[in-house]
Structure 1
Amino acid sequence: MGLFTVDEARHELARLRPVLDEIVTVRADMVELASGTPTPLGGLPERKAAEARLNELMTEVQQTGAELKGVAPLLVDFPADRDGVPILLCWLEGDTELGWYHRADLGFAGRRRL
């Protein structure tokens, strides 16, 4: 997959929002199903189904060319370029928009506002 412009990454993020929202829901269901206490969500078969669905959703995100870096919290990076320097446009669960980036070689700790 190629590099994203900021506008392309924002468009792709908007398209992925329902998928990302479902990841949050399935992630919460999996935690509840794995708690070892009875739950209205079910038991082992439902947990296995939730794991399979989570894998499908994560694959859907990665097939766009975005990089899913974390699931709890969700962290999605879009490879990009800024003045010839490889960067990752960075969205973290709870962000209202794609407004951050970091150099590819510095990681999340080097996160800056666009």
Structure 2
Amino acid sequence: MFTLEEARRRYAEVRPRVDELIAARADLAELQADLATDGSSPLGGLPEAKALEARLHALLEELAEHEIQIKGYAPVLLDFPGVRDGRAVLWCWLEGDADIEWYHRVECGFAGRRRV
């Protein structure tokens, strides 16, 4: 369980990996689109696509090893289990957020997001 401050510190620790995940995801999407339409890409071919897929999976596993729940990767959505006012919550970071600025009760899910 993370306090808000601990979740923010953990997020700061893994932020370089999150940025790497976002870049690899974009490269893979572009490479796949090129291969599907033109049969070639400046980013490479099928071996490079497979390598990017493997890198994405490795990055997702690495984040999970930090006790972070990965709820999505396009866009990236990360949850950090915690407690607020005696209730189980998930401190929530969505791609594009500057920091962890949201939370939601576990049973409410993303639709129950509230500002910290």
Scaled by the length of structure 2, what TM-score is found?
A: 0.94
Letter in 2 for 1:74: V
What is the aligned length? 112
Quick one: distance in 2 between partners of 1:66 and 1:100?
A: 15
TM-aligned CA deviation for residue 113 of structure 1:
0.5
Quick one: distance in 2 between partners of 1:33 and 1:47?
A: 7
Structure 1, unmatched stretches of 5+, are none
TM-aligned CA deviation for residue 82 of structure 1:
1.1
Q: Tell me the residue number matched to 1:40.
A: 42
Quick one: distance in 2 between partners of 1:70 and 1:9?
A: 18
The percentage of aligned residue pairs carrying the same residue is 53
- 3-state DSSP class of the match of 1:95? coil
User: Aligned-pair RMSD on alpha carbons?
Assistant: 0.7
1:58-87 deviation digits (Å, cap 9, x = unpaired)? 011110101010001000000001122110
Equivalent runs, 1:61-72 vs 2, <5 Å: 61-72=63-74
Quick one: distance in 2 between partners of 1:83 and 1:98?
A: 17
The structure 2 residue matched to 1:101, chosen from 100, 103, 107, is 103
Q: Tell me the residue number matched to 1:17.
A: 15
Structure 2, unmatched stretches of 5+, are none
> Quick check: which one's helix share is greater?
2
Structure 1 residue runs of 4 or more that deviate by more than 2 Å after TM superposition: none
Alignment pair present for 1:29 and 2:27: yes
